[in-house]
Amino acid sequence: MKQVTFTLSATDGMARRGRIDTPRGEINTPAFMPVGTAGTVKAMYPEQVRDTGADILLGNTYHLMLRPGAERVASLGGLHTFMNWERPILTDSGGFQVMSLAKLRKLTERGVTFKSHIDGSAYELTPERSIEIQTLLDSDIIMQLDECIALPAERKEMERAMELSIRWADRSKTAFNNQQNRMLFGIVQGGDDAELRSRSAAGLQSIGFDGYSIGGLAVGEPQEVMFRVLSDITPELPADKPRYLMGVGKPDDILGGIERGVDMFDCVHPTRAGRHGHAYTRFGVINLKNARHRDDHRPLDEASPNPNCRRWSRAYLHHLVKTEEILGAMVLSQINLAYYQELTARARAAIEAGRMTDFAAETRAAWAAGDL
């Protein structure tokens, strides 16, 4: 009996409100999942991540297999115990990070061999080993191993990578061995080609997965290309399974993804932008490096439900950013993650109330109005 299940509770247009129930707690969708690449959401205590409203966070096979090693994490009780996060964790399969980080990569039908970007030691990642690593980490939602290519790309290259990913999906499903206490997602590939995307979605459904990720986006294409691919492909995915847009994105990408039927999102952007002095608010993004904040005693947003948006002056946040003080990264990471959770929480409420169109329009208008 599958212990991880998805329930759709409301729709508004293509937008969906749902919930994934897992033995470690529920995930309310649309969901934004903070990225905890190497077993930590940078500059945040796990309790603080939860307090922003996050139901689930991400870990990463590539980073954790290199350091501290999957077998070591398993011997220490699994990733939840290791990092003191007892709620759900989703892990990526590692292929994307190998292609973007590792050295001396060699991709064959069997899998990918590479040298660690840390110390140059040699590794192999196959569909079977990726499932084994994610199972050792005791992840609640795991990904097939896939090949993601950057856009723009030749059609025959997109076709080759998509077809390889379907064969790896089949091997991943076999290696998953129908585990009941976690979900396995297939990953739709096919670049920006509608016919290839359809073939990928159909191929994955004939294998059968607990959820469907949409990969191969957020890899350099314009936003309108990403939105077109989403509009075309989400109607071709099963309505009763979660859809996860990998690596996306900025707030306007997420709003557009929700409007096109996506349930789950992850991105390093809120935490990375926080470490670089950018604060996300309902007025849009504010660059606190800018000298215009030097004498501004006002808080970021005194109407925000987040105390961190009310208690610090812009001048002080500017000071922390300019001096590269650690507190600056801490405060702005929390502010940005809390904003992303506020955005998705309001989207969930809007879908339940059948007012997604108004919500989207109001949100975009506030962003366009810009900072006070």
Ligand X SMILES: Cc1cccc2c(=O)nc(N)[nH]c12
Q: What is the DSSP string of 43-56?
A: T--HHHHHHTT-S-
Q: Which residue is nearest to ligand X (CB)?
A: 215
- Choose the stretch contacting ligand X; rule: CB under 6 A; options: 17-25, 87-95, 270-278, 317-325: 87-95
* Shortest distance (Å) from residue 141 CB to ligand X: 13
2 C-beta neighbours (distance < 10 Å), count: 13
Is 277 an interacting residue with respect to ligand X (CB under 6 A)? no
Strands, E assignment, the chain: 5-12, 15-22, 25-29, 31-34, 57-60, 89-92, 103-107, 112-115, 122-125, 141-143, 183-188, 211-214, 243-245, 264-267, 278-281, 284-287
Is 257 an interacting residue with respect to ligand X (CB under 6 A)? no
Give the rounded distance of the alpha carbon of 185 from its chain centre: 13
| Of the candidate residues 56, 175, 187, 229, the single one contacting ligand X (CB under 6 A) | 187
Closest to ligand X by CB, 93 vs 333, is 93
Q: Strands 243-245, 211-214: parallel, antiparallel or unpaired by DSSP?
A: parallel
The distance between the two most distant Cα atoms of the chain, rounded to a whole number of Å, is 61
* 43 touches 277 (CB < 8 A): no
* Shortest distance (Å) from residue 95 CB to ligand X: 5
H helix or E strand, kind and range, residue 110:
none
**Catalytic (active site) residue 266:** yes
40: left (phi over 0), alpha (psi -120 to 50) or beta: beta
- Choose the stretch contacting ligand X; rule: CB under 6 A; options: 36-44, 73-81, 115-123, 140-148: 140-148
* Shortest distance (Å) from residue 258 CB to ligand X: 18
Is 112 an interacting residue with respect to ligand X (CB under 6 A)? no
* Shortest distance (Å) from residue 214 CB to ligand X: 8
Is 153 an interacting residue with respect to ligand X (CB under 6 A)? no
* 88 touches 72 (CB < 8 A): no
From residue 209, give the alpha-carbon distance in Å to each of 143, 146, 162, 346.
10, 14, 17, 29
| Of the candidate residues 12, 55, 92, 232, the single one contacting ligand X (CB under 6 A) | 92
**Catalytic (active site) residue 371:** no
Is 18 an interacting residue with respect to ligand X (CB under 6 A)? no
Q: Which of 92, 146, 263, 301 is catalytic?
A: 92
Is 246 an interacting residue with respect to ligand X (CB under 6 A)? yes
Peptide bond into 68 cis (omega under 30): yes
Q: Contact letters (x/-) for ligand X, 327-356, by CB under 6 A?
A: ------------------------------
Give the rounded distance of the alpha carbon of 235 from its chain centre: 21
- Choose the stretch contacting ligand X; rule: CB under 6 A; options: 93-101, 122-130, 199-207, 323-331: 93-101
Closest to ligand X by CB, 215 vs 261, is 215
Q: How far apart are CA 134 and CA 59, in angstroms?
A: 9
| Of the candidate residues 27, 43, 148, 337, the single one contacting ligand X (CB under 6 A) | 148
Is 301 an interacting residue with respect to ligand X (CB under 6 A)? no
Is 36 an interacting residue with respect to ligand X (CB under 6 A)? no
| Of the candidate residues 216, 249, 251, 299, the single one contacting ligand X (CB under 6 A) | 216
Q: Which amino acid is at 202?
A: A
Binding site for ligand X (CB under 6 A): 92-93, 95-96, 143, 146, 148, 187, 215-216, 218, 246-247
| Active site residues per annotation | 92, 266
